[in-house]
Structure 1
Amino acid sequence: MKTRTPWQVTRSVWYALFMREAVARTMADRMAWFWMIAEPVAVIAIMVAIRSVVSGGRHIAGADFVPWLITGLLGFFLFRENMMRSLGAVESNKGLFAYRQVKTVDPVLVRCFLEGMLKTFIFLLFIATGILLDAGLTPANPMAALFDWISLWVLGLGVGLTLSAASSLVPEIGRLVRIITLPLLIISGVIIPLNYLPHDFQQYVLWNPIVHGLEHMRESFFPEYRSLDGVSLTYLWFWALSLTSLGLILHLRFEMRLKTQ
Structure 2
Amino acid sequence: MTFSVETPNTGPSRPKPVRPPRFASFRTIGALILREMNTSYGKSPLGYLWAILEPAGGIGIMVLVFSAAFRSPPLGQNFALFYATGFMPFTVFMGTAAKLGQSLNYSRPFLAYPRITFMDTILARFILNTLTQLLVGYIVLGAILLLFDTRTTLELPRIGLAYAMAAAFGFGVGTLNCFLFSISSVWQQVWSIVTRPLFIVSGLFFLYDAIPEPYRGFLWYNPLMHITGEMRSAFYSNYDADYVNPYYVFGLSLFLSALGILFLRRYHKWLVFN
Secondary structure at the residue paired with 2:197? helix
Q: Where does residue 57 of structure 2 map in the other structure?
A: 42
Matched AA of 1:142: L
8 Å Cα contact 1:90/1:104 also seen in 2: yes
Note the C-alpha offset of 1:214.
1.4
1:16-62 deviation per Cα after TM superposition (whole angstroms, max 9, x unaligned): 1111111112211113323212221222122222222222x233235
Q: Where does residue 4 of structure 2 map in the other structure?
A: none
Q: Where does residue 142 of structure 1 map in the other structure?
A: 156
Note the C-alpha offset of 1:135.
4.2
RMSD: 2.0
Q: Where does residue 223 of structure 1 map in the other structure?
A: 237
1:188-232 deviation per Cα after TM superposition (whole angstroms, max 9, x unaligned): 1112333332221111011111111111121112111243x5321
Q: After the TM superposition, list the runs of 4 or more consecutive aligned residues in structure 1 that deviate by more than 6 angstroms.
A: none
When structure 1 is superposed on structure 2, of 133-142 and 70-79 the one drifting more is 133-142
Q: How does 1:98-177 map to 2 (within 5 A)?
A: 98-136=112-150, 140-177=154-191
Q: Where does residue 34 of structure 2 map in the other structure?
A: 19
Q: Which has the higher helix share?
A: 1
1:94-146 deviation per Cα after TM superposition (whole angstroms, max 9, x unaligned): 11111011112321221111110111001111233133224438652112211
Matched AA of 1:192: F
Note the C-alpha offset of 1:248.
1.1
- Aligned counterpart in structure 2 of residue 4 of structure 1, from 13, 20, 34: 20
- Aligned counterpart in structure 2 of residue 201 of structure 1, from 215, 239, 242: 215
1:237 aligns with 2:250: yes
Secondary structure at the residue paired with 2:196? helix
Q: Where does residue 226 of structure 2 map in the other structure?
A: 212
1:58-116 deviation per Cα after TM superposition (whole angstroms, max 9, x unaligned): 33235633212101101000000011112222112111111011112321221111110
8 Å Cα contact 1:209/1:236 also seen in 2: yes
Q: Where does residue 9 of structure 2 map in the other structure?
A: none
Secondary structure at the residue paired with 1:236? helix
| Whole-angstrom CA distance in 2 between matches of 1:257 and 1:63 | 55
Matched AA of 1:232: N
Q: Where does residue 88 of structure 1 map in the other structure?
A: 102
- Aligned counterpart in structure 1 of residue 266 of structure 2, from 238, 253, 260: 253
Cα distance, 1:137–1:231 mapped onto 2, change above 3 Å:
same
8 Å Cα contact 1:47/1:191 also seen in 2: no
8 Å Cα contact 1:48/1:58 also seen in 2: no
8 Å Cα contact 2:60/2:80 also seen in 1: no
8 Å Cα contact 2:101/2:174 also seen in 1: yes
Give the percent of matched residue pairs that are identical in Structure 1 and Structure 2: 22
1:151-185 deviation per Cα after TM superposition (whole angstroms, max 9, x unaligned): 21111011111101111012211111222332111
Matched AA of 1:143: P
Matched AA of 1:26: Y
Q: Which has the larger radius of gyration?
A: 2
8 Å Cα contact 1:63/1:222 also seen in 2: no
Cα distance, 1:85–1:139 mapped onto 2, change above 3 Å:
farther
TM superposition score normalised by structure 1: 0.91
| Whole-angstrom CA distance in 2 between matches of 1:162 and 1:70 | 28
| Whole-angstrom CA distance in 2 between matches of 1:216 and 1:132 | 22
